[in-house]
């Protein structure tokens, strides 16, 4: 079964997380599929806007934890550049056409950080965003250590990234992470209709406007993705991460008293 559904209509490429039984957690293969789809969409005249969506009950539980464990066990000399997640992040952060997201239910880790690289974000009133990197012995990714304080202000960013507790759609609306909060069953449809509005506009003007909007931070974002990627690769092999991943698999609370 394909875990990323892809469909183009009316100038909108819709990419749908389709791994609901695993809460749409994202594997290396899924990152590669997403990155390749975006790379192709950037050059495809039939695609003018991209919509990323999940299910009305779950956007994404973030990185697949079993994949994290496998990556942590891989040879240490593998660099962040080898990681499919980093490839996806570099591609989405540089994607030139408008990106719309529809988020319902939990959006964990990269399920939240990828939204910082989308242009319009619509959320169901059941959306629960979280950045639980510290709780997993990890560090921020997707340039979120730069973009979250920029958007939320430092103290709210520190709360989100150090405590890692979920915050709901209304709070996300207040800090500017989402454009509108809507009923979950309507969210994908509303996001689709906004994406189609964008797709009907002159593409050259859209692309140039997005380039100008991002001009002052594009290079810094790519640089931060690299810096965070190196810290992340180290953190993934730490005793704290090992304990957090093992605890998740064993369905118990992690014990960080020795790390």
Q: Which two tokens stand for residue 34?
A: 């997403």
Spell out the SS3 assignment of 119-169: CEEEEECCCEEECCCHHHCCCCCCCHHHHHHHHHCHHHHHHHHHHCCCEEH
> Can you tell me which of 25, 126, 179, 188 binds ligand COA, judged by CB under 6 A?
25
Interaction between residue 109 and ligand COA (CB under 6 A): yes
Q: Which listed residue (6, 8, 18, 22) binds ligand COA by CB under 6 A?
A: 22
Contact between 102 and 190 (Cβ < 8 Å): yes
Q: Which is nearer to ligand COA, 16 or 192 (CB)?
A: 16
Contact pattern from residue 112 through residue 151 relative to ligand COA, giving x for each residue in contact according to CB under 6 A and a dash for the rest: --------------------xx--x---------------
Tell the burial category of 136 from Cβ atoms under 10 Å away from its Cβ (0-12, 13-18, 19+). buried
How many residues line the site for ligand COA (CB under 6 A)?
15
49/113 with CB nearer ligand COA: 113
* Long-range contacts of the stretch 230-234 (C-beta < 8 A, 24+): 230/80, 231/139, 232/80, 232/138, 232/139, 232/141, 233/78, 233/79, 233/80, 233/83
DSSP label at 10? Answer: T
| Strands of the sheet with 128-130, listed across from one edge | 106-108, 128-130, 167-168
Binders of ligand COA among 35-94, rule CB under 6 A?
61-66
Nearer to ligand COA (CB atom), residue 2 or residue 218: 2
Is residue 106 a contact point for ligand COA (CB under 6 A)?
yes
State the minimum distance, in angstroms, from the CB of residue 32 to ligand COA: 17
Smaller CB distance to ligand COA: residue 108 or 206?
A: 108
By CB under 6 A, name the binding residues for ligand COA.
22-23, 25, 61-66, 106, 108-109, 132-133, 136
């Amino acid at each position: 079964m394909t875990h990323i559904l892809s469909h183009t209509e009316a100038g909108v490429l819709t990419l749908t997380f389709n791994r609901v039984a695993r809460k749409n957690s994202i594997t290396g293969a899924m990152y590669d599929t997403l990155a390749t789809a975006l790379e192709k969409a950037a050059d495809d005249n039939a695609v003018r806007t991209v919509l990323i969506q999940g299910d009305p009950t779950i956007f994404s539980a973030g990185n697949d934890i079993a994949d994290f464990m496998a990556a942590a066990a891989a040879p240490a000399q593998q660099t962040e550049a080898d990681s499919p997640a980093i490839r996806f992040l570099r591609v989405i952060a540089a994607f030139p056409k408008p990106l719309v997201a529809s988020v319902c239910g939990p959006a964990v880790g990269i399920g939240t950080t990828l939204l910082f690289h989308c242009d319009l974000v619509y959320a169901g009133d059941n959306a629960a965003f979280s950045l639980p990197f510290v709780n997993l012995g990890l560090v921020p990714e997707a340039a979120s250590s730069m973009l979250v304080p920029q958007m939320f202000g430092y103290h709210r960013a520190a709360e989100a990234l150090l405590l890692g507790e979920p915050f709901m759609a209304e709070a996300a609306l207040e800090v500017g992470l989402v454009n509108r909060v809507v009923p979950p069953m309507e969210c994908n449809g509303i996001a689709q209709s906004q994406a189609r509005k964008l797709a009907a506009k002159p593409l050259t003007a859209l692309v140039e406007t997005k380039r100008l909007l991002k001009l002052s931070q594009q290079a810094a974002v790519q640089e931060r993705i690299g810096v965070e990627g190196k810290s992340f690769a180290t953190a993934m092999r730490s005793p704290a991460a090992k304990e957090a991943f093992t605890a998740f698999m064993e369905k118990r609370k992690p014990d960080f008293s020795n790390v």
